[in-house]
Amino acid sequence: MYYAKHFRWDSSYSASSNLVYKLQRRRRRSKKLKHIGKRENMGWIGDTVDSIKSIQIRQLLTQVVSLGMIVTSALIIWKGLMCVTGSESPVVVVLSGSMEPGFKRGDILFLHMSKDPIRAGEIVVFNIDGREIPIVHRVIKVHERQDTGEVDVLTKGDNNYGDDRLLYAQGQQYLQRHHIMGRAVGFLPYVGWVTIVMTEKPIIKYILIGALGLLVITSKD
Amino acid sequence: MHSFGHRLNGLLTFSVTILAIMCAIASLSDNLNTPSPTADIKIMNINWFQKQPQGNDEVSLTMNISADLQSLFTWNTKQLFIFVAAEYETPKNSLNQVSLWDAIIPAKEHAKFWIHTSNKYRFVDQGNNLRGKKFNLTLHWHVMPKTGKMFADKIVMAGYSFPEEYR
């Protein structure tokens, strides 16, 4: 097509027009070559830039997704534990020394809540209306109703002198079942100190999360 | 696994896993123990038996408690928490449990004991149903381990009763 356009079919093929034609072709060809050269160079740089960009985006997305997977699997495990143990918070940290020498500050308690009736001697974790921190003490008195099966419970910390009536709400003499979050069934010493330190000095929590995030981001290279 | 951070991370994860497994095995080893405890409680005296101004009965008594709980201790036991509770039934309540005395036994040597004591905690009923009532005295114990699952059990001694009249 290219040649057909510029090739005269008729016999009037003069030398001057031939020369003009040749010059035109040479100019076009050199322009074409220059254009090809430029695109070749551009292509190589462009390729590299593109590959760098694509690697970053893909890697970044992979890391974000794997981080999200870790967080969601931890959440799944926590919620699953809540279902299995039947209690709102299946693991609690002992904060005070009112159950020493049995439970010291910084120990972890595993809770379980079942439909079994609450009996004297069990270690229960309960919430008082108006107080946000749950308390871990032992049941020393149980009064269970004949008709409804409802139960009145009095608790006391092993290391305290008196019972917990001072801690209960104004006018409250006993705890009922709905105050109780769970029974302590298992125990691990010292592990809870991590939580206590992170709650009382939030700086350490931020440093730890920052360090973990840095480890995740730099782990790909 | 070439950088310091990676190695530290791997080491920490491994050590925490190993510690958790050791704690679980220690707790499971408690199941191998078959305890055979004995206990005996005698009520020496009913000191007084009154009706309080609020309408609740209260009684004060002196007991002689003797027990041998040495077989409950294992290598994974931190302490034994024992308490004596009075259990009885009233028209309004199907079960009442009132703790009268408790103690912490820190070591096996102290687990065989004899004590003469009055009730540490006030024995107050919900109501005034105690006159002439029969009740059981139960010795409960809670094994608190160094790590792992906590066990509890009891010995029930029946046959005690309150006096017919206030004293």
The string of pLDDT tens digits covering residues B17-29 is 999 999 889 888 8
* A136 plus A102 within the same structural domain: yes
- A contacts of B104 (beta carbons < 8 Å): 101-102, 158
Grade residue A12 by pLDDT with cuts at 50, 70 and 90: low
What would the mean pLDDT of A130-143 be, rounded to a whole number?
Answer: 87
Do A58 and A108 lie in one domain? The reply is no
A75 belongs to a structural domain? yes
Picking from B54, B64, B130, B52, the residue whose alpha carbon sits closest to that of residue B98 is B130
Catalytic (active-site) positions of A:
98, 137, 164
Number of A/B CB contacts below 8 angstroms equals 86
Does A1 fall in a domain?
A: no
Same domain, A157 and A175: yes
Judge if A137 and A191 occupy the same domain: yes
Whether A8 is in a domain gets the answer no
Mutate to test the interface with A, among B16, B76, B99 (most CBs of A within 10 A): B99
State ipTM. Answer: 0.84
Task: Say how far apart CA B66 and CA A49 lie, in whole Å.
Answer: 86
Give pLDDT, residue B18: 94
Q: Is A21 exposed, middle or buried (0-12, 13-18, 19+ CB in 10 A)?
A: middle
pLDDT tens column, B114-129 = 999 888 888 888 888 7
Q: How confident is the model at residue A37 (pLDDT cuts 50, 70, 90)?
A: low
Q: What CA dihedral angle connects B128, B133, B134 and B136, to 10 degrees?
A: 10
Q: What is the mean pLDDT of residues A181-186?
A: 87
Q: Do B152 and A145 touch (CB under 8 A)?
A: no
Comparing alpha-carbon positions, the chain A residue that sits nearest to B123 is A141
Q: B78 touching A, CB under 8 A?
A: yes
> Which pLDDT score is estimated for B49?
87
Q: Are residues A75 and A110 in the same domain?
A: no
In chain A, the number of structural domains is 2
- Digit-coded pLDDT (tens) for A171-180: 888 888 888 8
A186/B27 Cβ within 8 A: yes
Please check whether residue A213 lies inside any domain of the structure: no
In a domain, A167, yes or no: yes
Summarize the confidence of residues A30-51 as an average pLDDT.
64
Tell me which residue of A122, A127, A151 sits closest to A139, measured CA to CA. A122
Is there a single domain that holds both residue A79 and residue A124?
A: no
Token pair of A167, please? 């801690």
- The predicted pLDDT at position A41 comes to 59
Q: How confident is the model over B81-127, as pLDDT tens digits?
A: 999 999 988 888 888 899 999 889 988 888 888 999 888 888 888 88
> Is pLDDT at A4 greater than 50 in this prediction?
no
Same domain, A79 and A152: no
Q: Do B94 and A186 touch (CB under 8 A)?
A: no
Between B90 and A45, the higher pLDDT residue: B90
CA–CA min distance B139, chain A (Å): 10
Contact residues on chain B for A109, CB-CB shorter than 8 A:
none
| Percent of chain A at pLDDT exceeding 70 | 74
According to the model, what pLDDT value does residue A59 have? 81
| Residue A5 in this model has a pLDDT that exceeds 60 | no
Q: Note whether residue A216 is domain-resident.
A: no
Residue A182: inside a domain: yes
- Same domain (yes/no): A103, A64: no
Higher pLDDT, A221 or B158: B158
Share of chain A above pLDDT 90, in %: 4
Find the CB nearest A121 among B9, B83, B91: B83
Residue A36 counted as domain residue: yes
Residue type for position B103:
A
Last residue of a domain, one of A62, A85, A108: A85
Tell me: do A115 and A156 sit in the same domain.
yes
Instruction: Name the pTM for this structure.
Output: 0.72
Over residues B1-27, mean pLDDT: 87
Is the pLDDT assigned to residue A38 strictly greater than 90?
A: no
The beta-carbon neighbor of A144 closest among B91, B95, B147 is: B95
- Which CATH number covers residue A129? 2.10.109.10
For the ranges A19-28, A34-43, A61-70, A158-167, the lowest mean pLDDT is seen at A34-43
* Domain endpoint, select from A31, A64, A85: A85
Asked if the peptide bond before residue A101 counts as cis, ω within 30 degrees of 0, the response is yes
* A150 shares its domain with A199: yes
Instruction: Please state, rounded to an integer, the average pLDDT across all residues of chain A.
Output: 78
With a pLDDT cut of 70, the percent of chain B lying above it is 99
**B96 vs A184: CB contact, 8 Å cut-off?**
no
- Which of A85, A112, A137 marks a domain boundary? A85
* Terminal alpha carbon distance of chain B: 80
For residues A81 and A108, membership in a common domain is answered with no
Instruction: Indicate whether A102 and A152 sit together in one domain.
Output: yes
b/e map B90-126, b = 16+ CB within 10 Å = beebbbbbbbbbbbbbeeeeebeeeeeeebebebbbb
Domain that holds residue A69: 18-85
